[in-house]
């Protein structure tokens, strides 16, 4: 049923389509009421504007200040309520999906829009790994990415550049390279199971992952039996890129990339890669080789082994006070080798604190009952409790490594300053000496970590030293405020006779 809204100058006798005369008269009266109300409000607003313009040179009154403050607070509350409603609707959609998202470390929610249904996704692993998502590429930008590079206008290149700037995979490039990439990249979308590149094929493109996850596979041949088998090297997700080595060194593809989920890519062809990115990736390749050549952990490696490891290598920078690894759920496919900076190894221990009537405290390691119940018994509740302490048990400096399979239960690797690390895939390390090399690294690292008893002893020494310093400071301050009542009569007579000139 169509509803015709009358204009301000329309006559009351105009007939509305779809209504009878009574309905028309009723609706007409409502429209005239709204229009008259609108005119009154408009005239009032014009009067207020004229008054404000007339009084703009005068200082604002307390009443106007209060009104503006109320208006600002109302806007803040309205924005907060709007955000909360959107979040509540999103969580309701997630609740209908069951518990599958907890296994996949991510979830997808359906959100309704005027155009239809959109998918809002969140990847927990990507969030923990500090991966910066650019979100979905808008349809108008996808239409631009279909065009040939020479057919894109300057305004269209700027639209694509805004998307490129938001992607972590492009952060390593300067702005002028990003602008050139915005001119030459094009969009590709493939379903789960699609093979993107195959080992042994000629390389013709370079890929940036916009969304989704891909698996990296290699066909390995047993040197003794000659049998071939497929080995899954790892996975890559949004923010990662692949395919540059074949273009950089004019070699065949070294691995097979298959879509694990539905994926979107930004793709650069070989000619554009040579024109825009070759120099940047050549510099990055040489930097990785330089790091592997100078790091003490790779002193015994041959040049061929280092070159074979470069494709499985990343260089990452971590800011101050950032948790890189740690906890029960800390699992990484990479080993970390520190290039610059230092990290603190922080361990969480539980201690029993017993308070005495004098105000002093005594610490001890908890028993099984302490950790289970939090207190030893009901009568000890008032003077004994379990406390959680975080202790720095070791500092990792330049040349050290971590993430080689060591036990990080209740242990965390936290940056003490800006840290640069080279990350190498575990599978690349396991190939060396059939895993013995990585096992030796793990054992060496674990031996450098103190046991729980040693960590607790260090905590006690530090606690006792702090208590001693506090006591010394209090004693000094107390003596400074103590009045001096000494007189000349308190000095021995023999001393006064020998030093009479002091007492004249």
**pLDDT, tens digit, 9 for 90 and up, residues 79-97:** 777 777 766 665 555 444 4
In this predicted structure, the answer to whether residue 128 has a pLDDT above a threshold of 90 is no
What's the confidence (pLDDT) of residue 419? Answer: 92
In this predicted structure, the answer to whether residue 373 has a pLDDT above a threshold of 80 is no
Assess whether 164 and 253 both reside in one domain: yes
Assess whether 332 and 429 both reside in one domain: yes
Kindly state whether residue 463 falls inside one of the protein's structural domains. no
- Cβ proximity of 269 and 146 under 8 Å: no
Q: Which of 449, 469, 497 is the last residue of a domain?
A: 449
3-state secondary structure of 125: helix
Q: What is the CATH number of the domain that holds 166?
A: 2.60.120.10
CB-neighbour burial class of residue 27 (10 A; exposed 0-12, middle 13-18, buried 19+): middle
38-47, 48-57, 239-248, 479-488, range with the lowest pLDDT: 48-57
Assess whether 344 and 440 both reside in one domain: yes
Interval 458-474: pLDDT, tens = 888 888 888 888 888 88
118-122, 162-166, 198-202, 322-326, range with the lowest pLDDT: 118-122
In this predicted structure, the answer to whether residue 101 has a pLDDT above a threshold of 70 is no
Assess whether 247 and 171 both reside in one domain: yes
* SS3 labels along 229-264: EEEEEEEEECCCEECHHHHHHCCECCCEEEECCCEE
Interval 52-80: pLDDT, tens = 555 555 566 777 777 788 778 877 877 77
Kindly state whether residue 37 falls inside one of the protein's structural domains. no
CA dihedral 156→162→168→169, nearest 10 degrees, is 10
11-20, 159-168, 172-181, range with the lowest pLDDT: 11-20
Kindly state whether residue 127 falls inside one of the protein's structural domains. no
Give the containing element (helix H, strand E) for 223: none
45-49, 67-71, 159-163, 394-398, range with the lowest pLDDT: 45-49
Kindly state whether residue 214 falls inside one of the protein's structural domains. yes
Kindly state whether residue 266 falls inside one of the protein's structural domains. yes
**Residues 254-282, mean pLDDT to the nearest whole number:** 87
220-229, 348-357, 413-422, range with the lowest pLDDT: 220-229
Assess whether 216 and 163 both reside in one domain: yes
Q: Which of 411, 429, 449 is the last residue of a domain?
A: 449
Assess whether 231 and 157 both reside in one domain: yes
CB-neighbour burial class of residue 329 (10 A; exposed 0-12, middle 13-18, buried 19+): exposed
Kindly state whether residue 117 falls inside one of the protein's structural domains. no
In this predicted structure, the answer to whether residue 169 has a pLDDT above a threshold of 70 is yes
Assess whether 340 and 439 both reside in one domain: yes
What's the confidence (pLDDT) of residue 342? Answer: 92
From CA 174, how far away is CA 171, in angstroms rounded? 8
Give the containing element (helix H, strand E) for 462: helix 452-480
26-40, 241-255, 401-415, 488-502, range with the lowest pLDDT: 26-40
> Where residue 120 falls among pLDDT bands split at 50, 70, 90?
very low
Nearest to 203 by CA among 145, 137, 281: 281
In this predicted structure, the answer to whether residue 338 has a pLDDT above a threshold of 70 is yes
- Percent pLDDT > 90 in the chain is 12
Assess whether 254 and 322 both reside in one domain: no
In this predicted structure, the answer to whether residue 276 has a pLDDT above a threshold of 70 is yes
Long-range contacts of 475-482 (CB under 8 A, 24+ apart): none
Describe the crossing of helices 154-165 and 139-146 by its angle, rounded to 10 degrees.
Answer: 120
> Where residue 16 falls among pLDDT bands split at 50, 70, 90?
very low
From CA 180, how far away is CA 175, in angstroms rounded? 9
User: How many beta carbons lie within 10 A of that of residue 309, not counting itself?
Assistant: 21
In this predicted structure, the answer to whether residue 250 has a pLDDT above a threshold of 90 is no
Nearest to 491 by CA among 502, 482, 483: 502
Task: Tell me how far CA of residue 360 lies from CA of 341, 354, 365, in angstroms.
Answer: 39, 9, 17
For the chain, how many structural domains are there in total?
2
What's the confidence (pLDDT) of residue 475? Answer: 84
In this predicted structure, the answer to whether residue 104 has a pLDDT above a threshold of 60 is no
3-state secondary structure of 334: strand
Mention every residue, 6+ apart, whose C-beta is less than 8 A from residue 259: 190, 191, 192, 193, 194, 195, 196, 212, 213, 214
Assess whether 219 and 323 both reside in one domain: no
What's the confidence (pLDDT) of residue 397? Answer: 92
Helix, strand, coil percent values for the chain (each to nearest 5): 45, 25, 30
Q: Which of 223, 257, 276 is the last residue of a domain?
A: 276
In this predicted structure, the answer to whether residue 226 has a pLDDT above a threshold of 80 is no
From CA 330, how far away is CA 347, in angstroms rounded? 14
What's the confidence (pLDDT) of residue 123? Answer: 44
Kindly state whether residue 25 falls inside one of the protein's structural domains. no
CB-neighbour burial class of residue 379 (10 A; exposed 0-12, middle 13-18, buried 19+): exposed
Assess whether 263 and 330 both reside in one domain: no
In this predicted structure, the answer to whether residue 35 has a pLDDT above a threshold of 80 is no
Kindly state whether residue 179 falls inside one of the protein's structural domains. yes
3-state secondary structure of 191: coil
- Cβ proximity of 429 and 339 under 8 Å: no
**Residues 481-497, mean pLDDT to the nearest whole number:** 76
Average confidence score pLDDT of the chain: 75
Assess whether 316 and 257 both reside in one domain: no
Assess whether 351 and 263 both reside in one domain: no
**Residues 131-143, mean pLDDT to the nearest whole number:** 71
Nearest to 425 by CA among 339, 358, 337: 337
What's the confidence (pLDDT) of residue 115? Answer: 43
Bridge partners (DSSP) of residue 392 are 346
In this predicted structure, the answer to whether residue 396 has a pLDDT above a threshold of 90 is yes
Nearest to 220 by CA among 428, 58, 496: 428
In this predicted structure, the answer to whether residue 259 has a pLDDT above a threshold of 90 is yes
Per DSSP bridges, beta strands 106-112 and 401-402 are unpaired
DSSP single-letter state for residue 376: S
- Percent pLDDT > 70 in the chain is 73
**Domain coverage including residue 323:** 312-449
**Residues 426-439, mean pLDDT to the nearest whole number:** 83
């Amino acid at each position: 049923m169509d509803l015709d809204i009358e204009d301000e100058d329309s006559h009351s006798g105009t007939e509305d389509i779809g209504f009878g005369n009574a309905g028309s008269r009723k609706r007409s009266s409502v429209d005239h009421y709204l229009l008259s109300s609108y005119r009154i409000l408009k005239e009032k607003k014009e009067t207020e504007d004229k008054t404000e313009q007339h009084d703009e040179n005068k200082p604002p009154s307390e009443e106007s200040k209060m009104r503006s403050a109320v208006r600002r607070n109302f806007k803040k509350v309205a924005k907060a309520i709007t955000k909360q409603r959107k979040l509540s609707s999103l969580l309701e959609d997630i609740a209908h999906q069951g518990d599958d998202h907890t296994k996949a470390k991510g979830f997808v929610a359906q959100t309704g829009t005027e155009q239809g249904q959109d998918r809002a996704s969140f990847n927990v692993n990507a969030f923990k790994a500090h991966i910066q998502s650019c979100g979905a590429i808008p349809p108008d930008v996808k239409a631009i990415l279909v065009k040939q590079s020479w057919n894109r206008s300057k305004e269209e290149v700027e639209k694509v550049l805004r998307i490129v700037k938001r992607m972590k995979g492009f952060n390593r490039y300067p702005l002028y390279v990003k602008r050139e990439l915005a001119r030459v990249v094009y969009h590709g979308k493939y379903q789960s199971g699609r093979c993107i590149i195959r080992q042994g094929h000629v390389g013709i493109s370079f890929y940036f992952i916009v969304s989704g996850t891909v698996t990296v596979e290699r066909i390995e041949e047993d040197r003794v039996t000659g049998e071939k088998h497929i080995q899954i090297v790892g996975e890559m997700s949004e923010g990662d890129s692949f395919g540059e080595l074949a273009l950089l060194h004019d070699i065949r593809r070294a691995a097979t990339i298959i879509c694990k989920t539905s994926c979107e890519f930004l793709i650069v062809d070989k000619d554009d890669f040579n024109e825009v990115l070759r120099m940047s990736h050549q510099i990055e390749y040489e930097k990785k080789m330089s790091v592997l050549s100078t790091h003490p952990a790779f002193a015994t490696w041959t040049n061929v082994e280092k070159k074979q490891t470069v494709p499985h290598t990343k260089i990452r920078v971590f800011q101050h006070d950032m948790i890189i690894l740690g906890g029960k759920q800390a699992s990484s496919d990479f080993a970390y080798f520190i290039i610059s900076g230092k990290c603190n190894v922080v361990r969480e221990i539980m201690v029993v604190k017993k308070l005495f009537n004098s105000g002093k405290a005594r610490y001890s390691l908890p028993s099984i009952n302490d950790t289970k119940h939090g207190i030893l018994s009901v009568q000890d509740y008032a003077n004994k409790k379990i406390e959680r302490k975080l202790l720095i048990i070791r500092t990792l400096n330049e040349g050290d490594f971590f993430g080689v399979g060591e036990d990080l239960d209740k242990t965390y690797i936290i940056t003490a300053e800006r840290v640069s690390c080279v990350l190498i895939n575990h599978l690349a390390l396991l190939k060396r000496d059939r895993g013995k090399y990585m096992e030796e690294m793990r054992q060496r690292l674990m031996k450098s970590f103190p046991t729980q008893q040693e960590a607790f002893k260090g905590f006690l020494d530090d606690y006792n030293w702090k208590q001693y310093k506090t006591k010394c400071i209090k004693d000094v301050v107390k003596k400074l405020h103590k009045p001096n009542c000494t007189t000349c009569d308190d000095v021995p007579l023999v001393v006064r006779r020998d030093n009479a000139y002091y007492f004249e």
